[in-house]
């Protein structure tokens, strides 16, 4: 009897002894050990779509900010959210089946357990970033999708947020919540139109340089620029590091991760003091801003800064459009948020802050509980989302004055400008440009809102990171025993000291974060905590 699922699995056997995990960002590792995973993800995507009554699910082939030789794959839920947690475990188990027969059996077993009718339609939307291995991995994925009898649409190269956008558009088409036209042009039209409206009569103060990490964001931004019409908006964008012909240049000495980690501009940067710059990551779902100050010193405006800027702007807009008593704003951060940013939100903006574990899905879920939830990871991953009732309140509100009407229009345009499916570097930087233009701020005024506490992030290689277990949104270790006590003891010795250690979800390492009153103290504290971690389980 023919068994297409087993046949597809046979065509792409896994390398011996490799164990895969669906982590914070899907499966992500060296591209040359991923063929079998992609085929199995094809099977899972078909199962997931069938489980959801044939709604479209997405598959994105990318390894974001990782080096060029890596790749990865993640699944996207119908509204553009990250994959549901119980299906992460199912995906992990599928990826680790070794024989073709075992793959086929597990496929049947999931169908049975989840009460999935395998004869029903499955719909999957696929895209990839510009990595050299992408085309081959797409082939492996398609073999899985075909074996499972799924209908699929391949969008070729897209940024990760564009893929999320497509998925949400397909699933909301012909409903009152229709998100947009599910084409690339539809994406550019929606966001550029919203940008123009949100800018109103305001003009940006000088141009913006965007570093695209030599990734998929480059060609997509060049496309978006055609829709933004500089003569209308005044926003002059210089695109740099947009070379996708050389995939080996991806994320190398450029991009959001380079800038955030090294706290410096890409070495190729040629901008002058006060010039606004931002960097995207390899799949354009992260963005950080920066500039050189009068003394030629590099100044970073990271995800925490974007969150505070956006939250304060929405706070103003909600108040000036007359909606303050109906809509409450909150900010969601992780433990990596700078203590000064948390303080600023609570004390100056007077908004509540929620802290969640690392990974966008946790922030997103926490933000969903708020009327307007602004969430950003310090590394620039994030967005703002509006609850259903908030959207209705904003839609139905009858302004009581011309000024309320004007501000309400801006607020409405901002809703369209934000990719609510997921954090989107292109839409995020357009939003930042809107806020800066409205506030008539340059990067210096933005930076002056608060002063970051000096901080240091270190990576400790350990032989088994799974022994490092945490609680309290990853701020405290519960295992190995006694380690947290040692960390607490160190922290106490430092002025304004704060430090925590947690196992990375994307790399085989434990990350140590520390902040303190001075740079030297932050470095010292980080080093001390790293030593404690090393002693507890280092390689
Ligand atoms: C400290 C840090 O930046 N961690 C990153 C990193 O997760 P880790 O679990 O720390 O490896 O990759 C995630 C996926 O891109 C991102 O969401 C997260 O913010
Ligand atoms: Mg990314």
- Check whether 1 has a pLDDT greater than 80: no
339 strand-pairing partners: none
- Same domain for 356 and 406: yes
- Check whether 74 has a pLDDT greater than 80: yes
The per-residue b/e assignment along 398-426, b for 16 or more CB within 10 angstroms, e otherwise, is eeeeeebeebbebbbbbbbbbbbbbbbbb
Distance in angstroms (rounded) separating the CA atoms of residues 314 and 329: 8
Can you give the three-state secondary structure of 94-147, one letter per residue? HHCCCCHHHHHHHHHHHHHHCCCCCCCCCEEEEEECCCCCHHHHHHHHHHHHHH
Confidence tier at 537 by pLDDT (50, 70, 90): confident
Is 191 a domain residue?
A: yes
Is 180 a domain residue?
A: no
**Looking at 136, 157, 178, which one is the last position of a domain?**
157
Confidence tier at 505 by pLDDT (50, 70, 90): confident
- Same domain for 421 and 286: no
Over residues 125-157, the pLDDT tens digits come to 999 999 999 999 999 999 999 999 999 999 999
Please indicate whether residue 387 is annotated as part of the active site.
no
Which residue of the set 36, 49, 64, 321 is catalytic?
64
- Same domain for 355 and 319: yes
Closest alpha carbon to 255 in 243, 244, 241? 241
- Same domain for 532 and 413: no
Distance in angstroms (rounded) separating the CA atoms of residues 527 and 419: 39
User: Residues 514, 499: contact at Cβ < 8 Å?
Assistant: yes
Query: Which residue ranges have their beta carbon within 6 Å of ligand 1?
Result: 24-25, 64, 336, 358-360, 377, 379, 381, 504-507, 511
Is 179 a domain residue?
A: no
Asked if residue 505 belongs to a known ligand binding site, the reply is yes
**Looking at 414, 447, 480, which one is the last position of a domain?**
447
Backbone angles phi and psi of 359, in degrees to 5: 115, 130
Is 164 a domain residue?
A: no
- Same domain for 415 and 370: yes
Confidence tier at 389 by pLDDT (50, 70, 90): very high
Closest alpha carbon to 266 in 274, 256, 276? 256
- Same domain for 140 and 71: yes
- Same domain for 20 and 151: yes
Distance in angstroms (rounded) separating the CA atoms of residues 504 and 24: 9
Over residues 93-132, the pLDDT tens digits come to 999 999 999 999 999 999 999 999 999 999 999 999 999 9
Q: Which residue's CA lies nearest to atom 3 of ligand 1?
A: 379
Is 28 a domain residue?
A: yes
Over residues 399-412, the pLDDT tens digits come to 999 999 999 999 99
Is 165 a domain residue?
A: no
Closest ligand 1 atom to the C-alpha of 507?
11
Is 176 a domain residue?
A: no
- pLDDT for the residue numbered 119: 97
- Mean per-residue pLDDT of the chain: 96
Distance in angstroms (rounded) separating the CA atoms of residues 299 and 275: 11
Over residues 332-386, the pLDDT tens digits come to 999 999 999 999 999 999 999 999 999 988 999 999 999 999 999 999 999 999 9
Closest ligand 1 atom to the C-alpha of 509?
11
- Same domain for 494 and 373: no
- Same domain for 497 and 390: no
- Same domain for 144 and 24: yes
Q: Which domain holds residue 10?
A: 4-157
Asked if residue 154 belongs to a known ligand binding site, the reply is no
The encoded tokens of residue 206 equal: 């000088």
**pTM, rounded to two decimals:** 0.96
Instruction: Name the residues around ion ligand 2, CB cutoff 5 A.
Output: 64, 281, 283, 285-286
User: Residues 476, 328: contact at Cβ < 8 Å?
Assistant: no
CA of 69 to the centre of ligand 1 (A): 19
CATH number, position 466: 3.30.310.50
- pLDDT for the residue numbered 508: 82
Q: In the chain, what percentage of residues exceed pLDDT 90?
A: 95
Distance in angstroms (rounded) separating the CA atoms of residues 127 and 58: 8
**Looking at 157, 177, 211, which one is the last position of a domain?**
157
User: Residues 517, 495: contact at Cβ < 8 Å?
Assistant: yes
CA of 372 to the centre of ligand 1 (A): 24
Query: Given the structure tokens 């087993």, which residue do they identify?
Result: 6
CATH number, position 411: 3.40.120.10
Over residues 309-329, the pLDDT tens digits come to 999 999 999 999 999 999 999
Over residues 259-287, the pLDDT tens digits come to 998 999 999 999 999 999 999 999 999 99
Is 316 a domain residue?
A: yes
**Closest ligand by atom to 502 CA:** 1
Confidence tier at 511 by pLDDT (50, 70, 90): very high
- Same domain for 421 and 355: yes
- Check whether 25 has a pLDDT greater than 90: no
The per-residue b/e assignment along 324-343, b for 16 or more CB within 10 angstroms, e otherwise, is eeebbbbbbbbbbbbbbbbe
Distance in angstroms (rounded) separating the CA atoms of residues 539 and 535: 9
- Check whether 195 has a pLDDT greater than 80: yes
- Same domain for 293 and 230: yes
Over residues 420-464, the pLDDT tens digits come to 889 999 999 999 999 999 999 999 999 999 999 999 999 999 989
The encoded tokens of residue 49 equal: 């779509």
Distance in angstroms (rounded) separating the CA atoms of residues 33 and 43: 18
Give me the number of domains the chain comprises: 4
Asked if residue 495 belongs to a known ligand binding site, the reply is no
- pLDDT for the residue numbered 507: 80
Query: How many C-beta neighbours within 10 Å does residue 68 have?
Result: 21
């Amino acid at each position: 009897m023919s068994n297409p699922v087993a046949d597809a699995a046979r065509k792409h056997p896994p390398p011996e002894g490799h164990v895969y995990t669906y982590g914070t960002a899907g499966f992500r590792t060296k591209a040359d050990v991923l063929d079998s995973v992609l085929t199995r993800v094809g099977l899972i995507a078909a199962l997931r779509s069938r489980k959801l009554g044939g709604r479209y699910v997405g598959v994105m082939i990318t390894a974001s900010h990782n080096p060029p030789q890596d790749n990865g794959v993640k699944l996207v839920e119908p509204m553009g959210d990250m994959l549901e947690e119980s299906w992460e475990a199912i995906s992990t188990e599928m990826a680790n089946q070794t024989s073709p027969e075992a793959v086929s059996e597990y496929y049947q077993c999931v169908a049975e357990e989840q009460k999935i009718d395998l004869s029903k339609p499955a719909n999957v939307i696929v895209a990839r970033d510009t990595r050299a291995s992408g085309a081959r991995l797409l082939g492996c994925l398609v073999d899985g999708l075909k074996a499972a009898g799924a209908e699929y649409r391949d969008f070729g190269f897209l940024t990760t947020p564009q893929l999320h956008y497509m998925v949400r558009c397909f699933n909301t088409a012909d409903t009152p919540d229709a998100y947009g036209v599910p084409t690339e042009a539809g994406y550019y039209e929606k966001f550029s139109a919203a940008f123009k409206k949100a800018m109103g009569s305001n003009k940006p103060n000088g141009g913006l340089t965007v570093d695209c990490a030599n990734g998929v964001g480059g060609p997509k931004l060049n496309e978006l620029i055609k829709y933004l019409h500089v003569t209308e908006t005044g926003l002059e964008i210089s695109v740099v590091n947009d070379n996708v012909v050389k995939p080996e240049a991806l994320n190398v000495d450029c991009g959001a991760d380079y800038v955030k980690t090294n706290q410096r501009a890409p070495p190729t940067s040629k901008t002058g003091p006060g010039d606004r710059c931002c960097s995207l990551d390899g799949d354009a779902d992260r963005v950080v801003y920066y500039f050189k100050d009068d003394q030629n010193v590099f100044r970073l405006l990271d995800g925490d800064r974007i969150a505070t800027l956006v939250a304060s702007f929405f706070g103003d807009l909600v108040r000036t459009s007359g909606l303050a008593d109906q809509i409450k704003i909150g900010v969601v951060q992780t433990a990596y948020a700078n203590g000064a940013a948390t303080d600023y939100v609570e004390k100056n903006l007077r908004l509540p802050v929620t802290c969640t574990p690392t990974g966008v899905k946790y922030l997103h879920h926490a933000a969903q509980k708020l009327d307007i939830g602004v969430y950003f990871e310090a590394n620039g991953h994030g967005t703002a989302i509006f609850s259903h009732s908030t959207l209705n309140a904003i839609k139905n509100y009858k302004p009581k004055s011309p000024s309320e009407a004007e501000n309400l229009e801006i607020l409405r345009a901002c809703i369209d400008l934000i990719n609510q499916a997921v954090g989107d570097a292109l839409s995020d930087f357009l939003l930042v440009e809107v806020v800066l233009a409205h506030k008539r701020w340059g990067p210096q005024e933005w930076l002056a809102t608060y002063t970051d506490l000096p901080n240091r992030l270190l990576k400790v290689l350990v032989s088994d990171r799974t022994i490092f277990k945490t609680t309290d949104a990853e701020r405290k270790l519960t295992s190995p025993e006694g380690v947290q006590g040692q960390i607490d003891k160190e922290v106490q010795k430092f002025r304004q000291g704060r430090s925590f250690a947690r196992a990375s979800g994307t790399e085989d390492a434990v990350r140590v974060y520390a902040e303190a009153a001075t740079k030297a103290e932050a470095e010292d504290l980080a080093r001390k905590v790293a030593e404690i971690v090393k002693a507890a389980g280092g390689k």
